[in-house]
Amino acid sequence: MKNNDWYKKALLKNAKEIISSGATYTILALVFLLWHFALGFKFQWQSISPLSAPSIFVRVFYSAFTFCTIGLLLYVIKFYKVLHDIVVKAFGMWELYNFIKAVLWAFLMYISYAYLVPWLFNVLNASISILFNIANLVLYALPPVGIALILSIIYLLSNKKLKHEHRRSN
């Protein structure tokens, strides 16, 4: 693996926790939706927005996001190498090179803040809203499907946990 594949290592290392917490939240969402219909509420298409973009003051997020998107694109097309060759190798001006990179980086972070991140969060919220409403409709139309999903997820999680504990004891 390359140095920039740290996120793959982190995701693989924490995959069990990610999946189990995701399954737990899925169970809770299904239970709440079934409870909602048990109280007598009718199905209605809802627009939900559970995710919100971070503020501009979260510099770490925007810097990392810029690094993984636009910055990576500029690196792949060798923009920084060409800039280095022109400014440093041709003219020997390290200060100008570092200044240009800093200004460019600030501009890329602004582009991320003003355009890319809001677009990304709009797409994510729309996707979550659509999936939520589809699940809501299925549970409204067929409550036994929701109950079966909840029970099967609980069974699969407990079965995996029991197998994992059994392997540890052997």
Q: Across residues 21-41, what is the average pLDDT?
A: 80
What's residue 57's pLDDT? 77
Q: What is the pLDDT of residues 87-115, one digit of tens each?
A: 999 999 999 999 999 999 999 999 999 99
Between the CA atoms of 41, 42, 46 and 50, what dihedral angle is there, to the nearest 10 degrees?
30
> What is the distance between the alpha carbons of residues 65 and 73, in angstroms, rounded to a whole number?
12
What's residue 163's pLDDT? 67
- pTM over 0.85? The answer is no
What's residue 39's pLDDT? 83
User: Residue 23: pLDDT above 90?
Assistant: no
Rg from Cα positions in the chain: 24
Q: Report the 10 Å Cβ neighbour count for 141.
A: 11
| Lowest mean pLDDT, pick from 67-71, 81-85, 133-137 | 133-137
The tokens 């407990």 sit on which residue? 158
pLDDT bracket for residue 162 (50, 70, 90): low
What average pLDDT is seen over the chain? 84
Backbone angles phi, psi at 125, to 5 degrees: -65, -40
CB 48 within 8 A of CB 125: yes
> What is the distance between the alpha carbons of residues 139 and 67, in angstroms, rounded to a whole number?
41
> What is the distance between the alpha carbons of residues 65 and 54, in angstroms, rounded to a whole number?
12
Tally the domains of the chain: 1
Question: Whole domain around residue 110: which residue ranges?
Answer: 3-169
What are the CA-CA distances from residue 102 to residues 44, 80, 89, 112 (Å)?
50, 12, 19, 15
Q: Report the 10 Å Cβ neighbour count for 26.
A: 14
> Which residue has better confidence, 129 or 167?
129
